[in-house]
Chains A and B, each alone.
Chain A
Amino acid sequence: MMQTKKKRNSNSALRGFFRNAKAVVGFSIFSLFVIIGIFAPLLAPYDPQSTNFAPSLGPSVAHFFGTTNTGQDIFSQFIWGTQTSLIVGVGSSLISTLIGFIIGVYAGYKGGTVDGILNTIMNVFLVMPGLALLILIESYLKSSTPLINGVIIAVTGWAWGARVFRSVAMSITNRDFIVAARLSGAKTWRIMFVEILPNMTSQIASNLIYACLGAILAESSLAYLGFESISSNSWGTILFWAQNGGAMLSGSWWWFVPPGIAIALVGTSLALMNFGIDQITNPRLRIHKKRKISKKNPALEPSGGM
């Protein structure tokens, strides 16, 4: 009975999501990139590392995005880069959300000294300039890969989600069903994942979205700064080689324009999807379409990107 009820709720939530035009547009754009990523081996016309072509060619039918100064096909690099960037984005956001959930919910649920300590650690991670910390770690790692970077980004960036999860956990810890579960002797991890988790699905979804965007931006920043091994292939590494291969001096704008637009498109699609989630969680937005007094939306919070 409970099960079917829950299912019905999530079904109607999904329907609400897809009834929202912004969310549908966002979902479509994101899906397009996911499909490109999955079918990269089929879609990429050439080996992205192969230097068989004439250098610095402009966009043409043979090379949609032209070639690099060493004669590599940029379109193939872009297709493979899509796969890498999405794996890093999605993977990193899953890891950081999991860490953030465990620490945030544990702190909020336990309260007292445990909460005091965890909350302080959280705040330290929140004020520590993220990119500088990543750069410091990179300096000892020596040419890491996008995947390693994804993990590091997650390990240093979990505090954003933890802060939200903590406050939600604090607000529901004293509700009857949680108290009942605790009194019946349920283990803490069980309460956290079985009782508390279903009550913060929208916050989790929202956090997955922003962590994904943050990870894609952070990874491309690190790659652009040249902290990834030469053999890696992501949107960021394309920008790095464009910068170091003199794309500027040779006028090869087609080299550095596509990855940036791709990142911006993925970012916009994620923000649009978050609008859809907001509509579900915040019924006020649904009824009074005209008024648009929206809850503070993290998408709209000022941040310059990484």
Chain B
Amino acid sequence: MRYFLNKLGFLLLTIWAALTLNFALPRLMPGNPALNMLAKFQGKMPPQALKAFELQFGFSNQPWPIQYINYLGSMLTGHFGFSYTYYPVHVSTIIAQSLPWTLGLLGISYLVSVVLGTVLGIFIAWRRGGVTDSITPIVSMTFQAIPQFWLAVVFVYFLAFSNNIFPMSHSYGNTEVPGLNWPFIRSVVYHGFLPFLVVFLTSVSGWIIGMRNNMMMTLGEDYVVFAEAKGVSPRRLIFNYAARNAILPQVTSMAIALTTIIGGQILIEQVFSYQGIGFQLTNAVTSEDYPLIQGMFLIVAVFGVVINFLVDILYGRLDPRIRRRGATS
């Protein structure tokens, strides 16, 4: 329980830090470009909308602590303001539209890579010394050094543009009607396959190697040797004794790799014009849509921190030394 509260506190602290960054950056930067942008909208927007912008970007005569409190208040109640480019669409509306795409694409590619990589890692450790054992580290190193977004560009060129095997961009075909209908779902899978493949290829070998190394370490532990001696079947030895422990550092790696994975997702969405939050974020920067930038940054940050929190909780579930810490000490 204490572990849970600790992690929850850290979650809130990080979200607060992200909010504060959003508040402080426009006020710290010389020449506050957000305000210049705002000037262009003078007269095009109703006064209330302008007022909201002023509050958000510091174009106000109030002392900054009061601005800060007002700002936190409006953010916490979900008032992210209007987008410049899509006015009068709310930033929160755009978030709501793009978040599911990011969640779906990132979630599936992340989970499939982790699960498949982990299972293969266990398998390779089991059959240690095979050809796979010596080749995987080298393949892994090469694939991880390749910039993900560049691999995406190469795939788009060779598999989508030159050979037309896959679509070049977007998340579903223009002719499909979004909803729970088969043509739409098929189109989503078809469009999502290349971005998924990029993430999968660049990350799966890392998970394999990570799990393999953890397994090799664990297989040398006394408790595995002890269990082998006491007659536990090889199957149970590998899964319940070795893998069950070897998976703990793997879960830690899941949390550590997360920020990099989110970074990769932003770029991949850009390459494939995939309408998730990463795509919206980079586009908002190009069109200098500051309220949208802030909203998107905030949601990316919250997204990352929440997944990190969930991974921490998962770790706590898996490791009794953490789960029961509150009860014993």
Contact = CB atoms under 8 A, between A and B. Distances in A.
Interface of A: 120, 123-124, 126-133, 135-142, 213, 217, 220-221, 224-227, 239, 242-243, 247-249, 251, 253, 256-257, 259-260, 263-268, 270-272, 292-294, 296-297, 299-306
Nearest to A224: B149
A305 B146 contact: yes
A224 B216 CA distance: 40
B261 A306 contact: no
Given A132-B266, A137-B25, A303 B214 contact: no
Contact of A127 (B144, B148, B288, B304): B304
Interface in B296-315: 296-297, 300-301, 303-305, 308
B263 A123 contact: no
Contacts of B264: 304-306
Given A304-B148, A306-B147, A129 B304 contact: yes
Contact of B147 (A120, A221, A243, A253): A221
Contacts of A251: 162
Contact of A136 (B141, B154, B297): B297
12 contacts: A127-B259, A133-B301, A140-B34, A221-B149, A225-B285, A248-B156, A248-B157, A296-B210, A299-B144, A300-B210, A305-B145, A306-B260
Please classify the interface of chain A as helix (H, G, I), strand (E, B), loop, or mixed, using the class held by over half of its residues: helix
A263 B214 CA distance: 29
A140 B141 contact: no
A125 to B, nearest CB: 9
Contact of A267 (B18, B145, B256, B288): B145
Contacts of B203: 302-304
Interface stretch (B9-17, B39-47, B82-90): B9-17
B126 to A, nearest CB: 15
Interface in B225-271: 249, 253-264, 266-267, 270
A240 to B, nearest CB: 11
Nearest to B156: A248
Given A141-B29, A263-B145, A293-B217, 7 more contacts: A120-B10, A129-B303, A132-B297, A225-B285, A253-B157, A257-B154, A305-B145
Contacts of B114: 302
B12 to A, nearest CB: 11
B147 A300 contact: no
Contacts of B253: 301-302
Given A128-B18, A133-B21, A140-B25, A303 B260 contact: yes
B173 interface: no
Given A128-B301, A220-B147, A221-B149, A303 B261 contact: yes
A139 B285 contact: yes
A303 to B, nearest CB: 4
A248 B148 CA distance: 17
Interface centre among A132, A137, A249, A297, by most B CB within 10 Å? A132
A106 to B, nearest CB: 20
Given A126-B259, A128-B301, A302-B257, A225 B157 contact: no
A259 to B, nearest CB: 7
B207 interface: yes
A293 B220 contact: yes
Contacts of A257: 154
A208 to B, nearest CB: 17
Interface in B174-229: 199, 202-203, 206-207, 209-210, 213-214, 216-217, 220
Given A127-B305, A130-B260, A260-B154, A217 B147 contact: yes
A228 to B, nearest CB: 12
A260 B264 CA distance: 15
A267 B304 CA distance: 26
Contacts of A130: 259-260, 263
A255 to B, nearest CB: 10
A291 to B, nearest CB: 8
Nearest to B216: A293
B67 interface: no
A247 B255 CA distance: 37
Contacts of B148: 304-306
A239 B304 contact: no
A131 B308 CA distance: 16
B153 A260 contact: yes
A296 B259 contact: no
A92 to B, nearest CB: 16
A300 B21 contact: no
B266 A131 contact: yes
B105 interface: no
B171 interface: no
B256 A301 contact: yes
Contacts of A133: 21, 297, 301
B164 interface: no
A243 B32 CA distance: 30
A239 B153 contact: yes
Nearest to A226: B286
B147 A260 contact: yes
B283 to A, nearest CB: 10
